[in-house]
Each structure stands twice: as C-alpha cells, then as structure tokens.
Structure 1
Amino acid sequence: MNKSIMKDVCASKFCQGFSLHNIDKGNKNVKMECDNEESIKADESDYTQSILRKSLFGNVEVNVKEEIEVKEEPINIKSGEINIAKEIAKYDEAISYICERDLVKYELTHPNEKSYQCSFCDKTFSQNCLLINHQTVHSGEKPYECSQCDKTFRLKNSLIIHQRVHTGEKPYQCSQCDKDFTHSGNLKSHLRTHTGEKPYQCSQCNKAFSQSSNLISHHRTHTGEKPYQCSQCDKAFSHKQGLIQHKMTHTGEKPYQCSQCDKAFSHKHLLIKHQRTHTGDKSYQCSKCDKTFSQNSTLISHLRTHTGEKPYQCSQCNKAYSQSSNLISHHRKHTGEKPYQCSQCNKAFSHKHELIQHQRTHTGEKPYQCRQCNKAFAQNSTLINHQRTHIGDKP
C-alpha cells in the first residue's frame, strides 16, 4: 500500500551542508549538518516529516511542501539523522527541483548576500555551486551525456528529462483531458488552455500570452529581430518554425501527405486546408453576409471587406492593405524581388500567379473557355477580351 509522505524541506545549506540532490545515495543514514539549531518533528501516524531549518536564512523560515508517493516503509528519524536514501534515489528529480526552486527563492529574499562573482560577466551569486553552474554558460561545457544518442547537457536535470524521449515516459498527466507530458513545466503551460490564463503580457501593445516563449516571439514583431537565418539563401525569420518550413523550399521535402488523394505538402497547415476540399467543411460563417469559410483566418480577412480595415501598411509609400499577403507582394515593387522562377526557362516573377500563367506557354494549357464558341485561352484576361467580340463591346 502507498502512503503520502509530506516533506517540508527548507534547503538553506544547498551546496555546503544539506543538499538533497547531491547526497551520496549509498549512505543509508544521511547526516544533516547545520551551524544553527534545527527543529525536527515526526508524526508516524500519517507519515509526516517536517524539517524546519535556520541557517543562511537567519530568522527566515522557508517551508516548501512537496507530496511524494512512496511505499509504506518505516522512516527512522533521529536527532540530526534521517533515513531517506531510498526515497532520494527514487525521487531524485523531484527533490532536485525543490532544492533548485528554493535557491531561486533564497536569491530573491537575500538580494544583498551575493559574494561569488563571475569573472566573465560580473554576475554575482550567493552560493559557489550556483557560480560554477552559471560558468558553464560561458565555457559551453555540457558534462551530462545521454548514453543512447550522445546528446549532452549542462544540467543533470535536463538529461533526466531528455531521457524520457527514449523511454516514452510521461509522468505528468492533465486532470482535465488526460493528456500527459514529459515535463512538469509543459503540463503547467498546457493547463492554461483549460483555464484561459495568459500571464505574459507585452509591454508595448498589451497583448497577453499563455507561454513566455510566445511572448518572446511576439516581441520580435515590434523589434523586427529575425535571429533564424537560412544558410542557403540568407533569408531570415523571427521564429524557428518559420526557418524549418522555409528550408523545405530548398529540399523539396513534402512530409505531409493526404490520405485520400496522395497529394503531399511541405506544411501541416496546408494539408489541413487541403483536406477540407474533400470534406467540404466550411464551419466559419460571416455574421454580415452569411458567407462561409473553411479557415478562421480567411473569415477574418473577409470581414475587412465589410469594415474597410487595412491594418497592413507599407513603410515606404504608406499604401495599406487588408491582408498581409498583399503587403508582401506590394513590397516586391520596391525591392525588385522575384522569388518565383520558371524551371524550364529560368524566367523569374514577383507573384506566383504570374509564374503559373507563364508556365502555360510551355505546357500549352488553356483552362479558360468561351461558352459561346468554345475557344480556349491561357489567361482569364484574354478570355474576357474575347467575349466582348460576341456582344460587340470594344475595350
């Protein structure tokens, strides 16, 4: 039978004295040394241990509760000694997290007690072990190596979490939808999809986000920063995913395949969009004119035809557009960029539809047909001009 042991750990001597995650696991009786007095009390009826420590904290008591499931075994507590070797071995990551979290709390409550200074960047730390850990940022040292794929990590805890990629272990489960995660931080972020909480707010436009990484990415829309650069064509992107997707234009890779017609796509969202041509799904409806759309983004763009909103403005000539794609196309008039190249004659075009029209000169395709005389044309504009010959209209 399992029982819940509540451990109140105040990790004051993180590195020098009682550091749970650095204890010799072969030693069954772990000696806790503290310069000041400790108060230890035990209630064996509900297996509660409370360790209240006063050392570096002075008069401050930090009481961090972590609930850990263990097998029912007697835990012997003597004055200054505790038999927790098995529990530490089994819950190394959890206890390590407690200690590291308390270190952060200690730094916040003792901002002036930082005597260990980094010689590279002048940052100061209250503990020597924190300084040593920080210096690996400068040295690039990654002493913890995965035995299965040879990846290396700066922190032992990062290695433990990484190893779950190989084992498939996902110990953190959502109580609301049963999704599970390899890391507690991922679960915490996921829970916000249920609560709607958005604690990360942009200081410039007040937009809020559920994850800090999304806020960092959003900031780049204000700064224009594009840290992810393509090694083949020097294009740069504000998001890593944008670079990954762009690289597929060089490799021709199309990993997303439709199960109904075998068409393949370089991006997942393109596959999802395509699949709606099979299902006919148009679940996004305009409240003004009842038109329906297969994508929410298309509905948002359509609504601007009613409101007249043009949020995308050219920085060079102040022309404004209702859609970002139109602004991107317009920019090419200023830059002269022609990214769409014909594979047969190497002519280049600034717009994709221009390339498609040009390619018909090679293929002979004429998709636009006159209903009155069945003549066919390569371009829609040519068909329109032709139709005027039937009604006597001269352009």
Structure 2
Amino acid sequence: MRIAEVKVIVTSPGRNFVTVKITTEDGLTGVGDATLNGRELAVATYLTEHVRPLLLGRDARRIEDTWQYLYRGAYWRRGPVTMTAIAGIDTALWDIKAKAAGVPLYELLGGRSRDRILVYGHAQGATIDETVADVGRFLDRGYRAVRAQTAVPGTQGTYGIGSDGDRYEPASSGLPEETLWSTADYLAHAPTLFAAVRDKYGFDFHLLHDVHHRLTPIEAAGLGKAVEPYRLFCLEDPTPAEDQSAFRLVRQHTTTPIATGEVFNSIFDCQQLITERLIDYIRATVTHAGGITHLRRILALAELYGVRSGSHGATDLSPVCLAAALHVDTAIPNFGIQEYMPHTADTDRVFPHGYRFSGGYLYPGEEPGLGVDIDEDAAAEYPYEPAYLPVARLHDGSMHDW
C-alpha cells in the first residue's frame, strides 16, 4: 500500500484551513488537518516543498516509522510549523489505515472507552448580563459545560468576545488588529461574572473560563483563589506556559483546576507540567502536537499522573481535526472534556463529516476511517485570504501577551 500522491489543499470558507490528502496506489485516500492559524502558508510550503517528496513511494501502513522519519530524520525538530506538518501526514495515514481495516479509527486505538464525548460551548457578551443570558442559551440547548467570557470595561478587544453566536473568530484580514488590555480591570471584573452566572443558574453544570495567557504567575494564583467559591471546572491558560515551573506557584495558592496546552507542539512542552501534577487538563491537539501518534504519547504520560485531556477545539482547526480528536477522545481512559465550536455552513460543506452533536455531547462518525473528507471542488470556491490574529498592548503602549 504505497503512497502515490500527496496533495496540500488550502481553502478559506470563512477561515483558512490547510488539508493534507494522501492517496495510495490502490486508491485509498486519507485526510489530515495541517492548519496553523495565521501561518498557514508556512506549513503548506513546508509540506509541498520539503515533505511531499519524502513520502512518495513509502508504505502508508508504516505510520510510526513515517512519524519517526519526519521527526528524527530532520535535524531541525519540533516547532509549530514542523509539528503541524507532521500532524497532517500522520492523521491522513491513520485515516487510510482505518479505512483499509474497514473500521472507525477509534477501533484501531483500542476501541471505545466511552459512548459519547462531553463538550463545552462558548458563552460571551459585551456585558455580564449579556454573557449570563448567553450561558442560559447554551444550557437550553442541552450543554452540560459552558465557557463564559465577557468584555472588560476599559479594555478594547477582550479575548473571547465576538459577534457570531457559537463562534469566536479573532483572525481578521489586513495587518493584525491592535487591542488594549488592562490586567487590573480584568482581575476586578472577572470574578463578578462567575458570581452572576452561579447566582442565576446554580451549580448543576460545569463552568469554564479562558484567561488566554494574560497573567503573571502570582496574578493567576490570586485569580484562581478568588474564583474558588464558583467551582470552575477549569481555568484555562492562566499564565504563559513557556516556563512550566511558573505553574508551581499557581498550584501552591489555589485549588481551582488548571488547563493549558493548546499551543504545545510536543511532549517536552508539557513534561514537567504533567509529571509534577501542576495542571489538571492538557489541551494539546492532534493538529499542533504532531498528530494522533504523538498526542497519544502525551495523553499516555498524562494518564500516569492523573491529568486528563481537554483538547482545543475552536474553529481555527478544521472538521478534520475535530473528527480525529473525537476518535482519540473515545478511546483514551483519561478523557476530560472536549472544546467544541460548530463550524460555519460553508466549512461543513467543504468538509462533509459523520460526527454529530446531541444533548451536550459529540459522537464520532461510525464510517471507516476518520469519518470526514474534503470536497475539493467546494474547497476551490474559497481561495486563501491572508489573515492575522490580534495583538495586545497595555495602556502605556507596551506589548502584552494576546
């Protein structure tokens, strides 16, 4: 089962996506997501110019060997571009292998550990009252877990606040939007949001919040302690994760569960966080953490230390990534929760899929393979559009973590 063709397809049905499509000599195809938001063409070029020539003629069944070949065979390892490119290839090969076996992918990962996948939605609002009302909208639709974000008075472009209901799309065409941030205003405002949500709806559902790397370790520790009465399911990305030891200080001051890892590319980015039990949920993704092969290694390490999964699942990743994540979620013993933002109708048309949402849960497709594909004709209707994520500045004009 030799690889005969490797296509790299860039399409933008409302947002840019990079898809790898591999075809074998006997006609089997597999797809993988290789989207790196804001740097899509870097990955597409890496795949087209540097990786594709290495794959033609290789045995598509040798997934582990191919992963090692692309990772260890390259002197310059890791990094978001390399690992996202490897992920696209790796996911497509798993799709082919499961199709050849005639089973949904999760069967090759050990079979079901659960029947359905708990997900959380994204409530938002320009005011606390608007966000509280939006939380109710998600609860009415059957969600059992909701992330709550609200604009902060005195700031411009608070993270997580958009205008498209279920979806938050921060990337925009042209040069990066410059937003204004005040940590002091945020720290004073955020706990009042959780108090209002719990006062309105009680504690019979999971409540989450994303800080988006914006606090110092001691600021994050203070926030974690302040929100303990509201029993958050987790506080996401409370401080930048480049320094893994920073989470030790947060851990020493609060019992609020901590989640991080959507920007991680390898097991080495989170090894200390996991082995020292400094986090509760690891949010690494199939697409950015080297594919299914490498994400399974991360999650297997996490299982040993009582850390559960909470994979990133925003719409900066395509339905191909979400489908792959659901198969992993279904099989692993230490699943925690799955982020879920429904894609646009245009995106769903480009990426027909078998997974479905019902009553606060996602269910993976039961077709052989991933249960997702790319309609190349539809994809061609949406050419690439340059877009950047915003940047953040403080009131004195200096740069801050966005």
TM interval, shorter chain, is under 0.3
Q: Could you tell me the TM-score, scaled by structure 1's length?
A: 0.18
Higher RCO, 1 vs 2 (CA within 8 Å, ≥6 residues apart): 2
Q: Could you tell me the TM-score, scaled by structure 2's length?
A: 0.18
Larger Rg: 1 or 2? 1
